[in-house]
Amino acid sequence: MSESKQNRSTGLPMFLAILAVLAIIDALVLTSTHAKLLSQPDFESFCNISAEVSCDSALASGYSKLLGVPVSLFALVAYALMLGLAMIDLKSKQSGDEKAVGAGNRIFALAGFNLAFSLYMAGASAFDLRVLCILCAGLYLIALTAIAVSFLNLPSGIGGFAQGLQSEIKDSLGSFGGSFMVQAGAVIAAAALVIVFNTSNPMGPPEGKEPHPAKAVAAADDSAAANDDEAKHALQLENLKKWIATLPEVTVGSAYHTPKGTVGAPIRIEEFADFQCPACGRAWELLSPIMKKHADKIEVYFHHFPLSSECNPGMQSNLHSHACGAARAAVCAEQQGKFWEYANQLFTNQRELSDEKYMEWAGQLGLDQAKFETCWKDPASLAPVSADIKEGVRIQVSSTPTIIINGRKFRGFDIFRPELFELMLELEGIK
């Protein structure tokens, strides 16, 4: 082999090893950030830059965990394995050992899996959460680069990879020695990590383990009754009931805002939200049709909880720079009987929040603009916002949206997903 080919041959696995190290560092920072977000209610990460660019919003979502374990830990294991394979590949090529063929193929397979999962997470971030997590994006970029480099590193091209994969499967099924033992050990170690983490849950929220509602209900699909629709539905109801029973019970004291729906309805919803928060905007999209469909069954109250040090003393930074102004504008609209209409303008136009727009939207809704502007400029308009913030701190609101339904505290917007909300209504005896 010529010197240039030798350098190219060893250069690719070396580059893959560097990518793996960068990914491991990224995953470690993500895991540490996730832990601090769950254990320190007032913690804000360095990558909370704006409403649209926020690691904290992504890490507070249901997408941040898999089987109760932070996704970043799975990334850590995957890239640690890639680092090991890259070093084996590098050493084998330097010595001319045939093991390089197997290592190169395995790296490509692992890189393909990493890329597929990264694409799924990127899609969830872009289309559901509508927020960019810089640390997460770093892993996506590494996954994209790794698949390209590992493709170039394939010993015999894609055809050789397919043949090698077929041979690997046959060898693995017929033998329990050699490299298969190493792979099995890695799988067992990963499984042990999941079990230990779920048992001890050191990074769980301070108020107790809070499972994801969709997963709690979807568990019925894996049961023996999954083929029986009626039994499956009954099990979904039972799973949701058990999950709700694990949630903290709270009583909200300040309920002086204009309610939506029917006062005294069997379902009382109280939401602590920030008009600039992308997840709150998503919650609004899901709640709006619920308020129309079940107006006679629900009573909804909105509570201001801007994530900005400008008006929220619990915040360390001005994370959402327009949140306090938007909250005061909503207070002024409420004084003229148009809170819910104005809230809709704020949530559906989150990217356009500004002092000029607040006045423009007031005019579009037929409000007395002079009266609105006087109210908005008056520091007294902040009083209801401050009262809500104080109440939110009392009941330990640590992220937005936080939703209280009949005294149970939910974090995030998942309970507003149609399939879950309808099941909850059924649990309350409402159809």
Nearest-5° angle of CA 273, CA 275, CA 279? 65
Confidence band for 178, pLDDT divided at 50, 70 and 90: very low
Q: How far is CA 197 from CA 65, 68, 121, 190, in A?
A: 12, 8, 22, 11
Signed CA dihedral, 204, 206, 208, 214: sign only? negative
CA 302 – CA 343 distance, rounded (Å): 10
- Find the helix packing angle between 323-335 and 369-377, rounded to 10°: 130
* pLDDT class of 135 with cuts at 50, 70, 90: very high
Q: What is the Cα gyration radius of the chain?
A: 26
Q: What is the pLDDT of residues 219-275, one digit of tens each?
A: 555 554 555 778 888 888 888 888 888 888 999 986 567 889 999 999 999 999 999
pLDDT at 43: 65
3-class secondary-structure state, position 76 = helix
Residue 311 pLDDT > 60:
yes
Q: Which amino acid is at 136?
A: C
Q: Give the pLDDT band (50/70/90) at residue 172.
A: low
Give the residue from 7, 4, 156 showing the smallest Cα distance to 94: 7
- Judged by DSSP in three states, 14 sits in helix
Q: Confidence band (pLDDT; 50, 70, 90) for 321?
A: confident
Q: What is the pLDDT of residue 53?
A: 81
Copy the structure tokens of residue 264: 């005294």
pLDDT band at 191 (very low <50, low <70, confident <90, very high): very low
Report the 10 Å Cβ neighbour count for 62.
17
Q: Mind giving me the DSSP string for 37-51?
A: HHH-TT---TTB-SS
Which range among 82-96, 214-228, 276-290, 368-382 shows the weakest confidence by mean pLDDT? Answer: 214-228
Q: What is the pLDDT of residue 181?
A: 40
Q: Are residues 329 and 346 in contact, defined by beta-carbon separation less than 8 angstroms? A: yes
CB atoms inside a 10 Å sphere around CB 364 = 12
Domains of the chain by start residue, with CATH = 3-200 (1.20.1440.130), 213-245 (no CATH), 260-427 (3.40.30.10)
Q: Is the pLDDT of residue 328 over 90?
A: yes
Please tell me what DSSP assigns to residue 63. G
Please say whether the beta carbons of 324 and 381 come within 8 A.
no
Does position 206 have pLDDT exceeding 70, yes or no? no
Which of these, 366, 367, 324, lies nearest to 346 by C-alpha position?
A: 324
pLDDT at 332: 96
Please state the pTM of the whole predicted model: 0.59
